[in-house]
A and B are shown apart, each in its own frame.
Chain A
């Protein structure tokens, strides 16, 4: 669906952002793209949607270079940017003007989602608050039914009830054929939505595993034993440590703590990745 091969890119010549980046995204998956501020998450999404061109290497959307921005490719993709403005029109007119460009647009779903989000359809879009505008655009994006959906920090600007609404809406409009990429640094907002955890750091993908695999390979626990030596990664907390350890046969399932895992991956990617290279013993 999206194939990135040996992608090199820099905004400034001496400061490369991506160095030979490779990535393959498949239908039916929800990718969580994580990274520190400035890691290049938005830039990577811009390459996927053809809004930035690789210096060398390529980014293919359904087998064609995304940078060609052909209607057949663009109609299969929708981007929800982090920052955006909407025109001075009412929601229904916006839909009337833009929806025909998306062949699978579901008008009734758009109506349902706007209702769930409490969007006032009689109010001009630019008069809505930032959060309301974001909810409108998310409604439009989901109703567009595109096989590829790119969302950049979708929960930024949403209040707590809205974040919960967002998760609910995402869950109810789940599409088994859709490839969704959610770029964020707010791991906790989205950990129930994603099924693949990808970390971008220093211009390369340093970690890329399904949540299922993470759950099968690692355990996340808190311990008062500060001399523990079996952990792959640990952090001091009040009254002990929280640790990530290799999951051994007989270990119970633990809740995957993606935020903690993210810290571990950024600080010691080799030791975390090593856990996924070992044979699983049953």
Chain B
């Protein structure tokens, strides 16, 4: 076992150790989550086949994409919400807060685990699940099957990865900021933000007597992604600030 250097600047070995720690402490729950979602996706495919009516998916595995993307984002946001649970429990807060690592390393490890590693694991798991579903269907049902895993990955990858990146920033902040029910509280926080933003824009349009409509989808793609990336960065920075100033109750 190699000791880590106790330097006060950002340390990559310490970051890797934090990631290893986070994965090892959560692997049991996450495996259950992955299996449950895999089971749900399989059920979404197989249940219509077993019913007498014509299967809604037309025996094309591409039809599973929306379900997978929904579970990928929802599951990832839920997972992210739980990454700092130890800070909110009286029994674990002291051991978590006194772990010798920088707040920035703890946030970075949470982001890498909850975004990068989770996304890789989710897409790899789906890439395994779809062929399995395909072959089981091929063997058990006499039907024309269309296998389109590669379309799934390349058509929707970028927009969903970006959507998850944006929302994950908010849930990472919520994970540090809210002490209990942080998943639900972050959803409420997002709704309140959206309402306030809409009211603000409406008020501005009313006062300026203009017909102001902001349509983000009309903006060039790189501008949309740029704004989203900046918002995600802002939320990650706020999460770091919260963690740095966190005290035990």
Interface positions of B (Cβ within 8 A of A): 1-8, 11, 14, 17, 20-21, 24-25, 28, 89-95, 97-103, 244-245, 247-248
Contacts of A89 in B (CB 8 A): 24-25
Q: Which chain A residues (68-85) contact chain B, with CB distance < 8 Å?
A: 69-79, 81, 83-85
How many Å lie between the Cα of A93 and that of B1 in the bound state?
A: 11
Contacts of B92 in A (CB 8 A): 84-85
How many Å lie between the Cα of A269 and that of B83 in the bound state?
A: 48
Residue in chain B with minimal CB distance to A95: B1
Instruction: Check: A184 CB closer than 8 A to any chain B CB.
Output: no
Instruction: Check: A278 CB closer than 8 A to any chain B CB.
Output: no
26 residue pairs of the A-B complex, CB under 8 angstroms, read: A46-B94, A52-B247, A69-B98, A71-B14, A74-B98, A74-B99, A74-B100, A74-B101, A76-B6, A77-B98, A81-B94, A81-B95, A83-B90, A84-B95, A85-B91, A85-B92, A88-B28, A89-B24, A99-B3, A102-B3, A102-B100, A103-B3, A103-B4, A103-B5, A103-B6, A107-B1
Chain A interface size band reads 35 or more
Residue in chain A with minimal CB distance to B8: A70
Judging by beta carbons under 8 Å apart, are A99 and B101 in contact? no
A71 partner, pick from B1, B28, B102, beta carbons under 8 A: B102
Min CB–CB distance A152 → chain B (angstroms): 9
Residue in chain B with minimal CB distance to A71: B100
Min CB–CB distance B107 → chain A (angstroms): 13
Judging by beta carbons under 8 Å apart, are B89 and A85 in contact? yes
Contacts of A100 in B (CB 8 A): 1-4, 17
Q: Mark A88-113, 1 if CB is under 8 A from B, else 0.
A: 11000101111111111101000000
Which 7 residue pairs spanning A and B have beta carbons closest together? Answer: A85-B91, A74-B100, A75-B6, A75-B100, A71-B100, A103-B3, A97-B21
Residue in chain B with minimal CB distance to A88: B28
Contacts of B21 in A (CB 8 A): 97-98
Q: Mark A19-51, 1 if CB is under 8 A from B, else 0.
A: 000000000000000000000000000100111
